Chain A
Amino acid sequence: MGASGAAGGRPLLSARGGRRSRIGDRLALGVTGSAAALTLVLVGLLIWKVVDGAWPAIARFGIPFVWERVWNPNVDVYSALPAIYGTAVTTLVATLIAAPIAIAIGLYLAELAPRRARGPVGTLVELLAAVPSVVLGLWGILVLGPFVRDHIEHWLGGALGWIPLFRGQPQQAGLLPAILILSIMIVPITASLSRELFLNVPRELKEGAYGLGLTRWEMIRCVVLPYTKGGVTAAVVLGAGRALGEAIAVTQVIGGFWGINTSFFAPGETLASRIASQYQGATTGLQAASLVYLAVILLVLTLLFNAFAQWVVSRSTIQVGR
């Protein structure tokens, strides 16, 4: 990057060893350059191979695969709607729960926490992101699941049972535990990203706000949040993107039911959990291809989410005029 500014790198005095080192430089450029090129090839190969693997199913079912509901190996007919519904609901609700909590944590770590607490609390929040999803899923099904069934769903059903979302028999596995597990996964990502953003708000702006007599919260509301709006949006979208593709923990807690239930208490399936739960069934050609087709949908959604996050960031930095 910057080294290219260092004048071509050719030593002025090339009396001894000059040629040898120039060959070494060429070689190094070649080797590192081909590694970098291979990275680009890898991304291209990934997209191509996944689409290619799904091709039998794409050719057989076409685009209607996305809105049909059948998954039946006996008649070899497959489709995606229940998984798309499950993905949309769990990702959306988990993001709605996690985003405010994560932003609050970001604010606490950047603005409010006593200096001595910032390091340790920040590290603990980031360690939450390091917990392997299979461990979180194990905890989800054996500890969180029973708790959700006996307490949270019982209480929700009693208080909000008139809403179809909270109706039905409390269960150990279902959409609600999946939503909670996903929230736990989103929070540390969005929190540490937004903390970085909050820390970058210029000091003069904050002190100006205090100078006008604003309270801390008013300063945050009028200066910090508007200044970081774009970045925080991107942080939330990236967190949601993580939830979108999470396979293992969701598979463990969601109950694996192929169908659309309005109730959060009922089991369901997401795109990623469907793929993960069928890993042993991927034997017949068309069924395996249909699983890969689900992965294609997931891939497209992930790329869209990431592109959207990038777009938000680039747009907001232009506006700030940096």
Chain B
Amino acid sequence: MNEAAVPGGPRLVASGRVRRRKLVSRAMESVASLASGLAVLVLGVVVISVLLRGLPALSLDLVTTTPSTGFDSAGGGIAQALVGTLVLVGAATAMALPFGLLVAVFVSEFSDRRLARVIRLALDVLNGMPSIVIGIFVFALFVLAHGQSALAGSFALAVIMLPLVARSTAEALALVPQGLREASLALGIGRWRTIVQVVLPTTLGGILTGTTLAVGRAAGETAPLLFTSSLAADEISGDVTRPLASIPVTIFTYAEQPDPVYHQQAWAAALILIAFVLVANVLARAALARSRRRSARG
């Protein structure tokens, strides 16, 4: 790498040219480190801004009460949005998780290579689709005819979660050693039971990771809900046939209000959301690293 003096050989002296080349190299290396520092700095600034502005507004009232009505609408909380997000994301997970698992099992255990490629392509197309387009899709599918509902909203979220769950599960299934399957089949156990009792249990970590990441993503999505579940009443409800409030849509609408009280509540809601999403991400990554290490050891 460096021109160390070779004993007995010709002495290599760093001439001006070499020195310049090394200098250029150093400079470019520093630029690259600076770029990474910049990205980390931006993340830090965003998180710290949300912390500084959100923490003072965070209170028990905020998460347990609904917005107060009337002229003194300064008070109140965002409990309806918390409950709404729980319902929306819960329903979306209930749709996307089993469906995504089935798709992944088909792609990696049953289908031939060409069909698997087609389905992967379809999942990639879904994954690359802007979330506002998915919102418009569900708007055209349900909302134009039946009006907004939490069901439509959670369906839109499920469309976003599906490729994430299916792809991470398929990746986890691909890591299962072929010998394990063959051993089970050799014992006379059918394909189906092999999958359920041998293959899937070993991939539980991967499935969990993928699902957690997908839940984190869905919890923060605003665009799919704007056209499907945004015109909600300010009351705590779990009725999926009506539109429900959600944390992201609440932040979106509160940020546009002129009254700074709403801004404070938006910051507090953002703090709750970002804490949930970042914790989910860190946990998922840690679980993935652990299961990878274990499978590498085993």
Contacts and interface: CB of A to CB of B under 8 A. Distances in A.
Nearest to A101: B35
Interface in B152-202: 159, 162, 166, 174, 178, 181-182, 185, 188-195
A36 B130 contact: no
A60 to B, nearest CB: 17
Interface in B15-64: 21-22, 24-25, 27-29, 31-36, 38-40, 42-43, 46, 49-50, 53
B126 to A, nearest CB: 6
B149 interface: no
Query: Interface on chain B toward A: helix, strand, loop, or mixed SS?
Result: helix
A38 B103 CA distance: 9
B231 interface: yes
Query: Interface on chain A toward B: helix, strand, loop, or mixed SS?
Result: helix
Interface of B: 1, 3, 21-22, 24-25, 27-29, 31-36, 38-40, 42-43, 46, 49-50, 53, 99, 102-103, 105-113, 115-116, 118-119, 122-126, 128-134, 136-137, 139-141, 144, 159, 162, 166, 174, 178, 181-182, 185, 188-195, 216-217, 219-223, 226-227, 230-231, 248, 251-252, 255-256, 263, 266-267, 270, 273-274, 277-278, 281-282, 285
Given A50-B140, A124-B43, 10 more contacts: A6-B185, A46-B129, A46-B133, A101-B35, A104-B32, A132-B274, A215-B25, A279-B226, A292-B136, A292-B139
17 contacts: A11-B185, A25-B192, A33-B111, A35-B102, A36-B103, A39-B103, A39-B119, A45-B141, A105-B32, A138-B255, A142-B267, A188-B39, A246-B130, A248-B248, A272-B223, A275-B136, A306-B124
Interface of A: 1-4, 6, 9, 11-14, 17-18, 21-22, 24-25, 27-29, 31-33, 35-36, 38-40, 42-43, 45-46, 49-50, 52-53, 100-102, 104-105, 107-109, 112-113, 121, 123-128, 130-139, 141-143, 184, 187-188, 191, 210, 213, 215-218, 220, 238, 241, 244-248, 251-252, 272, 275-276, 279-280, 282, 288, 291-292, 295, 298-299, 302-303, 305-306
